[in-house]
Amino acid sequence: MSSEKEEDSRTIRLSRRRFLGVSTAAAIGGIVAGVIVGAVGGYLAGQSTAQTTTVTQTKTVTQAAQTLTTTVTQPTTITVTQTVTTTATPTPPKLTRVIIAWPFEIVTLHPYKFSRNIPSESPMDAIYDRFLSQDINLKIQPGVIEKYEWMNPEKTRIDFTIRRGIKFHDGTELTAEDVAFSFSEMKKGAYAATWGNMDVIEVASPTLVKVTLKKYDPSLIAWLTFLDAFVVPKEYWEKVGPDEFSKKPIGSGPYKVKSYKPGLLELTAFEDYWRGPPAIKEVVFKEVLDPRSRAVEVEAGTSDFTIAVDVADFDRLAALTHLTGKKAFITDVAILMIPTYYPETGDENVRLAMHYAIDKEALVRDVLLGFGRPVSTTEAPGYMAYDPDYVFPYDPKKAKELLAKSGYSTDNPVKITAATLKGNIPRDYEVMQAIVAMWKKVGIEASLEVITLAQHFELRNTGKMKHVHLYPWSNATGDPVNSVGYSQWPNSPFSTWRGLKAANLTDYSGLMEEATDIIAPVFTEKDEEVRIAKAKEAAKWVVEHGLVIPLYQLATPYLMKKEIIYEPWPQGFVRPYYMKA
């Protein structure tokens, strides 16, 4: 019996040693598994965890006897307490590259060669610095030009002090030589009518440029923030020539050109930019001319930012979880430009009937879905010459009466051709379709042709416009020089009169000389209060003689990824430098 007990004792002790081995292995396995599971679980949860692991092992020992078998069950519990420290879920990296689905053709980076409106200048605005800048509230601020001063009472001599410490993308310093050279090149470009007024341009020191004007220009300072007003490096331009420069430009703006081909522009941050390096390090302007295609781009995520999608798509897209939508009024006004070198549109009755027949409230409400506000003159709210009390009425009955005076009716309509853009501004084509339908009701039969911005400029300059063109007129300065002045003055290179003169065509309206005299004070009057009063009179006069049909101030739909923080600029620029993520 004694030997059996000793054997039993040995069996039990052996079983315990074996059990402890098994239990220890189980505990170690539990710890390892616990660490792995705990680590993964903690990583996903983003917090530290304390875990208690309990391992229970049951062992059965059989006691041998002649007639008795006793089964003893011995539970053994090992408790392991372990603390697993884990790191928080990492924050996704900030967006540093933005692809912009762009509604305008990207055909050149030449800063001075072609006419354009303000929004379409955005790619160049990223590459080049302007002489002066305009803040988001349209106030003029120092830029490359740190200070300016009129040097005589006639305001025909002006001194420009150039900011020190600005570098071009190749590392060279920007000096007064570059500013003076840029002025000289601008005198040869698309806006030569403005810059050609600079008669003498003198570099007095590395930081001082002296300019003598042919005549006083009240809008000169505003133009230094506006179209075409870019600084280029004299040395590089002269080395490679203007054609090569337009392919591989160098500026002093916040972005350098990484690669460029027509339709696609890739930019990279200029880390030595004088205002500070951009937050967004890579920017792509990708030409996508169709508004529905731009909507698809941002919805699918193949582009991060776009403007001027079809307004009918805006609410749905803005509600998507990965997008933010914004609606912003800009300083552009949609107008109908009417050349008078056709007998039909040379007839004032026809021109005025075209205006009276248009229900602008309906256009904004039903076609633009609120993305606009009707205007009665070329001057929008916020412009210096805006008159809130003047309203040109919608009066289809009056339109019919005027047409009848010229022998036209719904049975005998006057026939014209209307040219429209398609996809450059919200619902431009649909707006013109609606206008054509309104005209038909009073006795104006219009066929519709789609053109590009480049075609519009070519037709305007050569006297080959259609009877009427839809065009978004930019005036980020608010000065009437850049609204009623340049859009309607017969001496303006941007008006319909330019083509009439260039092609020596007949002015069937007989109004060219009178229009010249009425609009001239906008450019020449030195008393600012008188000048603005004259501008208001001129803006009403051109409307009441049917030389232009102002339609509405534009509101632009913006769509962008949720990560992008950006406030639209009222000028209509898209400025990646001011984007953050």
> Which residues lie closer than 8 Å to 295 by C-beta, 6 or more apart?
306, 309, 310, 313, 317, 559
CA distance 473 to 485: 12
Please answer whether residues 549 and 354 qualify as being in contact, where contact means their C-beta atoms are separated by less than 8 angstroms.
yes
DSSP-derived letter for residue 10 is H
Q: What would the pLDDT profile of 446-488 be if each residue is shown by its tens digit?
A: 999 999 999 999 999 999 999 999 999 999 889 999 999 999 9
Q: How do strand 145-150 and strand 140-141 relate by DSSP bridges? A: unpaired
Counted residue by residue, the chain has a size of 581
- The CA–CA distances, whole Å, from 578 to 125, 281, 394, 534 equal 12, 12, 41, 38
For residue 118, the model assigns a pLDDT of: 83
Q: How far is CA 406 from the centre of its chain?
A: 45
DSSP one-letter string for 73-116 = EEEEEEEEEEEE--PPPPPPPPP-EEEEEESS------SSSS--
Q: Identify whether the C-beta of residue 162 lies closer than 8 Å to the C-beta of residue 176.
A: yes
CB-based contacts of 268: which residues, under 8 Å, 6+ apart?
A: 255, 256, 258, 281, 282, 283
pLDDT of residue 116: 78
Higher pLDDT, 70 or 253: 253
Q: Are 453 and 120 in contact (CB under 8 A)?
A: yes
Distances (CA, A) of 379 to 299, 500, 555, 573: 36, 25, 15, 20
- How far apart CA 494 and CA 477 sit, in angstroms, is 16
- DSSP letters along 495-520, please? SHHHHHHHTT---TT--HHHHHHHHT
How many angstroms separate the CA atoms of 233 and 179, rounded?
8
99 — phi, psi (to 5°)?
Answer: -100, 125
Q: 239: Cβ–Cβ under 8 A, 6 or more apart, which residues?
A: none
- Asked whether residue 115 carries a pLDDT value surpassing 90, the answer given is no
One-letter identity of residue 211: V
In whole angstroms, give the CA distance from residue 21 to residue 250.
Answer: 76
Cβ 174 vs Cβ 144: under 8 Å: yes
Q: Which of 250, 248, 270 is nearest to 259 (CA)?
A: 248
CA distance 10 to 566: 81
pLDDT higher than 60, residue 82: no
Rounded Cα distance, 117 and 199, in Å:
26
Between CA 506 and CA 493 the distance in angstroms is 18
Average pLDDT, integer, range 333-343: 98
What is residue 401's predicted lDDT score, i.e. its pLDDT? 98
pLDDT digits (tens, 9 = 90+) for 268-324: 999 999 999 999 999 999 999 999 999 999 999 999 999 999 999 999 999 999 999
pLDDT for res 193: 86
Which among 110-119, 220-229, 250-259 has the top mean pLDDT? 250-259
Give the rounded percent of residues in the chain with a pLDDT score beyond 90. Answer: 78
Strands 323-337 and 414-420: unpaired
Distance CA 45, CA 429 (A): 53
- Tracing tokens 């002015």 back to the chain, one arrives at 507
* 29-38, 414-423, 497-506, 526-535: least confidently modelled range: 29-38
Cβ-proximal residues to 435 (8 Å cutoff; 6+ apart), any chain: 336, 358, 363, 418, 446
Residue 338 has pLDDT above 50, yes or no: yes
262 to 108, 266, 292, 361, 451: CA distances (angstroms): 7, 11, 21, 39, 19
Over 70: is that where the pLDDT of 27 sits? Answer: no
Dist. CA 510–CA 528, nearest whole Å: 30
Name the one residue in this structure whose structure tokens are 């980020």: 476
Which pLDDT does position 87 carry in this prediction? 53
Among residues of the chain, what percentage have pLDDT more than 70? Answer: 84
Using the predicted structure, report yes or no on whether residue 404 has a pLDDT greater than 60. Answer: yes
Predicted local distance difference test score (pLDDT) of residue 98: 98
What is the token pair recorded at 75? 């539970």
* Prediction pTM value: 0.76
Q: Are 88 and 47 in contact (CB under 8 A)?
A: yes
For 194-213, what is each residue's pLDDT tens digit? 999 999 999 999 999 999 99
At 31 the pLDDT is 36
Q: Are strands 414-420 and 468-474 parallel, antiparallel or unpaired?
A: parallel
pLDDT value of position 23: 41
Report strand pairing: 97-102 vs 133-134. Answer: unpaired
Mean pLDDT of 29-58: 37
Q: Domains, the chain, ranges and CATH? A: 98-322+562-578 (3.40.190.10), 330-555 (3.10.105.10)
* Sign of the alpha-carbon torsion through 516, 522, 524, 525: positive
Q: What is the DSSP letter of 173?
A: B
Over residues 146-178, the pLDDT tens digits come to: 999 999 999 999 999 999 999 999 999 999 999
Residue 439 gets the label, from left (phi > 0), alpha (psi -120 to 50) or beta, of alpha
Task: Please say if the pLDDT value at position 66 is more than 60.
Answer: no
Structure tokens at 108: 């050149």
* Amino acid 91: pLDDT: 61
Contact 310, 523 (CB under 8 A): no
Measured CA to CA, the distance from residue 151 to residue 248 in angstroms comes to: 38
**For the residues of 422-452, what is the DSSP string, one character each?**
SSSSTTHHHHHHHHHHHHHHHTEEEEEEE--
The residue type of 351 is R
Strands 133-134, 140-141: pairing is: antiparallel
Give yes or no for residue 88 having a pLDDT over 70.
no
Structure-block tokens of residue 14: 């052996």
